[in-house]
Amino acid sequence: MALKRIEREEGIKRTGYSLLSQWTEMSDRKKVEGIRVVKISDGTVIDHITAGHALQVLQILGITGKEDYVVTLAMNISSSKTGRKDIVKLEHRFLEGHEVARVALVAPDATLNLIENGKVTRKTRIQLPDMIEDVITCPNQRCVTNKEREPVTPKFQVVAKDPISLKCHYCWTMVDETDIVAQFTQTK
């Protein structure tokens, strides 16, 4: 009898232990699944977006949410690098050069991950150059870049990156993030 009881108690202990380890396993798996939910098989992941700027990135790319591909947005995620960051994942969407240049304006420290077959095939750090050519137009209607006949290619000097501040190379008109985002959402 006594032996049996010990065996049973040990059994309970064992079960308890295995339940505990199972639970730990499950919570680990949950973590992994949590990541997998937003994982995309192919497309673009824009990572390390300045915290709070993910919406501007979507706006600047003309993404409204009415597209037929999955758009995942995560804001204020803790990051070891920058403290907090935003992430945008675009399924089946690959960015063109001029789109990358636009993203750089509102997320100058972002990284672009190209995803193919569930794997990151290319990782590039977005770089905002000191001079931006032919990405945005000058809001000053009288600027040489807005001349109807023989307009000059718009050129802006990057005065500050965070928050972004640009100065027209020709007429010195200042442009901020609100102007930039408005320009790309108006043309849509």
Q: Where along the sequence are the contacts to Zn ion (CB under 5 A)? A: 138, 140, 143, 168, 170-171, 173
Query: How far apart are the C-alpha atoms of 177 and 24, rounded to whole Å?
Result: 45
Identity of the residue, 42 or 177, whose beta carbon is nearer to Zn ion in the bound complex: 177
Identity of the residue, 111 or 173, whose beta carbon is nearer to Zn ion in the bound complex: 173
Bond before 163 cis per omega within 30 degrees: yes
CA-to-CA separations, 151 to 142, 147, 164, in angstroms, rounded = 11, 5, 25
The two tokens of residue 84 are 């907090």
Query: How far apart are the C-alpha atoms of 82 and 48, rounded to whole Å?
Result: 8
As measured in angstroms, the least distance from the Cβ of 152 to Zn ion is 9
Identity of the residue, 96 or 130, whose beta carbon is nearer to Zn ion in the bound complex: 130
Identity of the residue, 58 or 180, whose beta carbon is nearer to Zn ion in the bound complex: 180
7 C-beta neighbours (distance < 10 Å), count: 10
As measured in angstroms, the least distance from the Cβ of 160 to Zn ion is 18
As measured in angstroms, the least distance from the Cβ of 171 to Zn ion is 3
As measured in angstroms, the least distance from the Cβ of 147 to Zn ion is 11
As measured in angstroms, the least distance from the Cβ of 173 to Zn ion is 5
Q: Is the four-CA dihedral 69, 79, 184, 65 of positive or negative sign?
A: positive
Identity of the residue, 153 or 187, whose beta carbon is nearer to Zn ion in the bound complex: 153
User: Could you tell me the end-to-end alpha-carbon distance of the chain, in angstroms, rounded to an integer?
Assistant: 82
